[in-house]
A and B are shown apart, each in its own frame.
Chain A
């Protein structure tokens, strides 16, 4: 079945540091890939997505590129801020024929940014 593996946290960085959170996946077919973010006390919200190989999703300074050859979707940001402190989830859907009805989530990576 489908699965998503994220780097284990927690991750602690200083403000303005470079961020990478690794995500790899296993799927049949051609999944869509997502990053969701969960701020303290809130539900998850979509951060960015990519629907086919070599697509780059971007939002709020975060980027991730859909790499089919390495089955990866790593999240990056060039200069993190304290407000980026949150839990980040990588996720995939079962593919364009199934849509988003069944998202498979990774275990989440807690990020803390120190001023």
Chain B
């Protein structure tokens, strides 16, 4: 019973490097999203998708790119990493029935030096 799987769990980057955080869910959820969690700021929405081929920006999209080619996968790309992107990133998914219940992955801790 995998649920939402994120990889990698930990990553250290140098400023300017690029990388992709992977997210996969096996619950056939239409809605997927990425949040970042920073001390004293709670969770902030980066990007979200309401279905394959459809993505939209959240509250803090700058410096990040997403695509949704399949229902299962929703990767988050950092184009040119900056120290301000040091954070814990969470992927979440849900059904479209507006229950408010997001299912979260375990998180990916990213450090940019």
Instruction: Give, as a whole number of angstroms, the nearest-CB distance from B18 to chain A.
Output: 25
The count of A-to-B residue pairs whose CB atoms sit within 8 angstroms is 65
Decide yes or no: A108 and B104 within 8 Å by CB, A43-B4, A101-B48 being known contacts: no
Chain A contact-residue range equals: 20 to 34
Cα-based distance from A102 to B45 in the complex (angstroms): 8
Chain B residues in 8 Å Cβ range of A99: 96-98, 100
Chain B contact-residue range equals: 20 to 34
Is A44 part of the binding interface, using a Cβ–Cβ cutoff of 8 Å? yes
Decide yes or no: A105 and B43 within 8 Å by CB, A41-B106, A43-B4, A49-B101 being known contacts: yes
Is A81 part of the binding interface, using a Cβ–Cβ cutoff of 8 Å? no
Q: B90 and A43: CB pair below 8 A? A: yes
Cα-based distance from A107 to B4 in the complex (angstroms): 23
Residues A91-105 near B (CB distance < 8 A): 93, 96, 98-103, 105
* A100 in complex: contacting residue of B41, B58, B99, CB < 8 Å: B99
Interface positions of B (Cβ within 8 A of A): 4, 31, 33, 35, 40-45, 48, 50, 58, 90, 92, 94, 96-107
